[in-house]
Structure 1
Amino acid sequence: MTGTAPDLDEPPEVRRGPGRPRDPDLEERALEATLAVFGEKGWTGLTIEEVSSRARVGKSSIYLRWKDKETLLAAALRHSQQEPEVDEAAPDEDTDGTPAEPAEPAEQTLREYLVAHATRRANLYLGPHGLAMLRLYVEARAHPDVFAEIRREAITEFVLEERHRVAAAIRAGDLAADASPVLILDAVEGAIFMHILVTPPHLVDRVRRNLPDYIETMVDNQLRAASPVSPRGT
């Protein structure tokens, strides 16, 4: 009699019998559990055993996909920052019945870019994995060697992209020539971070409701301060 031996370190409810297809949600559960454990317990408390237990996934299945907890955490943080997929509507048809060419997306203004960026960061901090995202900054300072690659993927690459976008606006004359991309983004990032970090739990819902107005006003204030100033008397 032939068959596939079950993965004995998997909980009974997720063991596969002979011919049973792999669990399509296995990776999703493992990544979600990783973020939850990391948010609650930090780097030292994050273990493959704990992730396995919470996700109801065998340890061997986790090790087949990620070689260690550092790789697993990096994948989980990438997963948490992915943009949600948006279903694109089918293009309209031309008068002759042939599909119309999809319109080129309009380029975002700097204001639109910064508002979208700040909204995305706020939603990360306020979302189900917000504690993990906030924990990341502390752990990256406490364990710089361990978090060097994770920091590059989860923080540095995003920051550099944002700085390039603001620098392009300065070169284009949309902002003052002596404006600093670093200071502008520090102000935007810092405002969002502190606004959410110091909010007591019972006021979080109010912060969510007022977030669009808060972000737009904050971004407008930063751009106004960095806008080109006409010479006096002109």
Structure 2
Amino acid sequence: MTGMSAAPGPGRPRDPDVDRRIARAALDVFGDTGWAGFAMEVVARRAGIGKATLYLRWTSKEALLTHALNTGLVRVADVDTGTLRGDLVELAAQILGLYGGPSSRAALRLTLEAGTIPGVAENYHAMREAQFHAARAIVRRGIDRGELPASVSITMLLDTLAGGAMMHALSTPREKQEDPAAHAQRLVDFLLQGTFTRVDQP
């Protein structure tokens, strides 16, 4: 799936552990302060490294944030388990992981601010387009297999699924949230039951 990418700056061979710490710190800083408070110095301090280490890898804070978003956020991607229910459960679990996981604040900030961040907006738009087409492909496969009627509104079904998963992740206290996989199954079963009930009504 298409995602955000940024070429690293020149320097020594990369240490994957350091890269992970930097990406984690960058997402935490962006989630806490937004773009206005996102600075190389702050990320370096949060990651426990020297600022020079960052500049050996990325020449700008735009490139650093792009890398962190590309490597640290849960991706909403196409999946094909062989059944519509299985595919939708996987899709719901991905959304729950994105907005309920450790990078949830950064994901939410991104939806609000991505369009105004130089060098990030274009990549974010491409990522969202890929996610949109992947989600619709899941439903179209279900229609092609006869698991959904052709008359079903793909947009309404996906809006309901994504909105339900996102709101659960954002509004339910973390200590009261059930296992994401279990909640994804309950959400999909509820949605599909309602979909077929509406379709079968005279």
Question: Is 2:135 the counterpart of 1:135?
Answer: no
Tell me the distance in 2 between the aligned counterparts of 1:120 and 1:70: 26
Q: CA RMSD in A?
A: 2.9
Contact 2:74 2:97 in 1 (8 A): no
Question: Is 2:184 the counterpart of 1:184?
Answer: no
Contact 1:125 1:131 in 2 (8 A): yes
Amino acid at match of 2:157: I
Alpha-carbon spacing, 1:156–1:72, altered in 2? closer, same or farther (3 Å): farther
Higher relative contact order (CA 8 A, sep 6+): 2
| Larger Rg belongs to | 1
Deviation at 1:196, TM superposition (A): 2.1
1:77 counterpart residue number: 69
Corresponding residue SS for 1:128: coil
**What stretches of structure 2 of length at least 5 have no aligned partner?**
1-11
Give the TM-score taking structure 2 as reference length: 0.77
Tell me the distance in 2 between the aligned counterparts of 1:70 and 1:33: 15
- Per-residue CA deviations over 1:177-234 (Å, capped at 9, x if unaligned) read 12122221111110011112222xxx3122134x4443222212322344495697xx
Identity value in percent = 36
Tell me the distance in 2 between the aligned counterparts of 1:63 and 1:108: 46
Q: How does 1:6-25 map to 2 (within 5 A)?
A: 23-25=15-17
The answer to which structure has the higher helix fraction is 2
1:171 counterpart residue number: 144
1:26 counterpart residue number: 18
- Per-residue CA deviations over 1:124-149 (Å, capped at 9, x if unaligned) read 322222111122111135x2765422
Aligned residues between the structures: 186
**What stretches of structure 1 of length at least 5 have no aligned partner?**
1-19, 84-105
Deviation at 1:67, TM superposition (A): 3.2
Tell me the distance in 2 between the aligned counterparts of 1:40 and 1:216: 31
Tell me the distance in 2 between the aligned counterparts of 1:140 and 1:22: 27
Tell me the distance in 2 between the aligned counterparts of 1:80 and 1:154: 14
1:113 counterpart residue number: 87
Contact 1:125 1:196 in 2 (8 A): yes
Corresponding residue SS for 1:173: coil
Deviation at 1:35, TM superposition (A): 0.4
